[in-house]
Structure 1
């Protein structure tokens, strides 16, 4: 971020598509030849922008996408994504028909849903594509291992359902562990029962990002990765250290104010100046994904230096102490996550400071934050202000605003609409 490279947005996240390509190559290498990569893009691709990530995954040759809800799957179809899309969670009943018509793969968790799909698919004249979720210990969704035979009996007799895959959900957040080994035994037992009944060449998937990088060998023929593809967390295991962050988060200074000793800043007041302090206000707050817990604890990067959060974080604003940073101007870019010159703030660091996990931070980045793709070093914006990410794009032109002679930085007009 260069000083005073003014942006047309109050807050934006840059989505580095080259980093995504790089990470997917590492994942392919780790997974091995012939392994299907199912890229998980639930929760707006963990806050990165599902449209941008999904369309780039399509160009990168990814084999399938995974989502958490039926609504997410249908939205991707509406964006023109024609890859296989699996709803890993439950599909609400009112969207079942639309999912079947749109050839959405459905996670199968109960016998009742199996019977319902058989009847509905028959009426619609389509085949339901299902992945049997085997509950090997997570305890939330899926069919327990000891009841899998009953479900397979029902599937074997179904005319309008294709068993596309078997899946389970690894419990251990760190990936491979003795408990994971036991889970894989349960999944393999159900797979053996499926193949005992006749030839079957379906998808078998259990590995998430953490398990992929920590397991000594692959189980199944498909891996479900999300956070590794996005380089959004520090994982254990060989190869993970080469993953690159896809997201960086930015805003800009919209006001500068010099406050005297004893002056307060923000609600409470939680901050009282102990020295003459120059305060920079940025138009981002907890509504945009800045954790409230980082009040007076967080940092941002400005002109290649660290600026401490001061005062309470509000819905729309964060205030920074920029007293020791020379030459700060209204319009200067501010980095909340990412790199500025030699300084860096990672998603992991923000999460640790807020006492949470990286997914929580990225998923909390709100819709007021514009997602802008960066590819081959160029920041791109849609040619039109509305529309999906597959709309034509153009380079983003930064307008450098110089301080007019005879004025101070505090007299500059605000950068953007901050009414």
Structure 2
């Protein structure tokens, strides 16, 4: 029997983390990397909903020394939890937070030349990686503007330790997507070469995210910013990958069945009369809703597993609860588990499946899992 604390954590809705699977995924991804290339796990968005501190500490235990996040506040949370090593902020940090970069020894992305000047004007030594725009057109100096890129190296307070770009179609298998990705790779390599030819050396390079590693494992850079693959899933189940990697899901999402009742033929259930019974049914309320991260788009579309059987979501997903059709589930009662992502008996629901039913990708489903869902 578990402790009372364990029981409490599994009282309403909870996430179970399989750290053995995380370890397995790290080893699988490391095997794909060229010699000298280090994983730089993306632990942004609360480690894609898994819990940034828990995941970060486990990765540190495994010898990971480099991490990337989206914001200064995410980086500070890791530092305060005792994570050392390099933490790269991939997004924008406001000048009002520049002192945090100093205090917590964080590495900031240079989003363009104007931002580099603002960082430099702060007057303190700041560690930075320079973003290069090779075609995503989000952050970074455009790859053809080599003079602007070189100008960043003339700013005295910036300690430039890295240069990187972002692949925008590396998950695609169409000829157009592969051609575009190859063009991005070439443009990034040409920027690095142009810097080296001007005597600018001594910086690390990185370009690949999860799909960059899984579909272009032959590339040789210093870091690989793996995100969704680290957590053992793909963005969509239809995604085809080139590399031989067996990834295992780290996260399961579960909730309690709180009551089971009859629903008679032609009765409606839930808000807005959105579901109407076409026969005599048994329905069960589960203690999880959209405030916990179950998308409303799964109303009348989603599934959970109850005692090894599939049970359809019926009616609208509410803020804190939802209804399941358990007519075909034998012996279901209050206190049973409903599994929304994960395994029950011989059945399994992957994050990809839940995402596709909601019209999105697993990255969004996972990263939007709410803070009140206990991580166990």
TM-score by length of 2: 0.92
Task: Write out per-residue CA displacement over residues 277-308 of structure 1, whole angstroms, 9 at most, x where no aligned residue.
Answer: 21110011111111211111211101111111
Change beyond 3 A, Cα 1:274–1:236? closer
Equivalence for 1:182: 183
Change beyond 3 A, Cα 1:215–1:255? same
**Secondary structure of the corresponding residue to residue 225 of structure 1:** coil
Q: Distance in 2 between matches of 1:325 and 1:129?
A: 57
User: Among residues 303, 306, 309, which one is paired with 1:305 in the alignment?
Assistant: 309
Unpaired segments ≥5 residues, structure 1: 373-419
**Secondary structure of the corresponding residue to residue 228 of structure 2:** coil
Equivalence for 2:357: 353
Q: Which moved more, 1:233-242 or 1:278-287?
A: 233-242
After superposition, residues 78-117 of structure 1 pair within 5 angstroms as 78-117=80-119
Please state how far the C-alpha of 1:158 moved relative to its aligned partner. Answer: 2.9
- Whichever of the two has the greater Rg, that structure is 1
Indicate if the aligned counterparts of 2:28 and 2:245 stay in contact, CA closer than 8 A: no
Equivalence for 2:11: 9
Please state how far the C-alpha of 1:199 moved relative to its aligned partner. Answer: 6.1
After superposition, residues 7-46 of structure 1 pair within 5 angstroms as 8-46=10-48
After superposition, residues 105-184 of structure 1 pair within 5 angstroms as 105-122=107-124, 127-155=125-153, 157-174=154-171, 177-184=178-185
1:60 correspondence with 2:62: yes
**Secondary structure of the corresponding residue to residue 43 of structure 1:** helix
Equivalence for 2:228: 227
Equivalence for 1:207: 208
Unpaired segments ≥5 residues, structure 2: 1-5
Please state how far the C-alpha of 1:29 moved relative to its aligned partner. Answer: 0.4
Q: Which moved more, 1:268-277 or 1:353-362?
A: 268-277
Please state how far the C-alpha of 1:81 moved relative to its aligned partner. Answer: 1.2
Q: Larger relative contact order (C-alpha < 8 A, sep ≥ 6)?
A: 1
After superposition, residues 233-244 of structure 1 pair within 5 angstroms as 233=234, 234=237, 235-239=239-243, 241-244=245-248
Q: Distance in 2 between matches of 1:63 and 1:236?
A: 30
Q: Distance in 2 between matches of 1:328 and 1:47?
A: 29
**Secondary structure of the corresponding residue to residue 144 of structure 2:** helix
Please state how far the C-alpha of 1:142 moved relative to its aligned partner. Answer: 0.7
Please state how far the C-alpha of 1:216 moved relative to its aligned partner. Answer: 5.4
Indicate if the aligned counterparts of 1:6 and 1:333 stay in contact, CA closer than 8 A: no
Displaced runs of 4+ in structure 1, greater than 6 A? none
After superposition, residues 250-265 of structure 1 pair within 5 angstroms as 250-265=254-269
Indicate if the aligned counterparts of 2:170 and 2:181 stay in contact, CA closer than 8 A: no
1:218 correspondence with 2:219: yes
Equivalence for 1:317: 321
Change beyond 3 A, Cα 1:18–1:295? same
Indicate if the aligned counterparts of 1:70 and 1:92 stay in contact, CA closer than 8 A: no
Q: Distance in 2 between matches of 1:318 and 1:154?
A: 53
Please state how far the C-alpha of 1:231 moved relative to its aligned partner. Answer: 1.0
Q: Distance in 2 between matches of 1:171 and 1:239?
A: 18
Q: Distance in 2 between matches of 1:238 and 1:22?
A: 19
Number of aligned residue pairs: 363
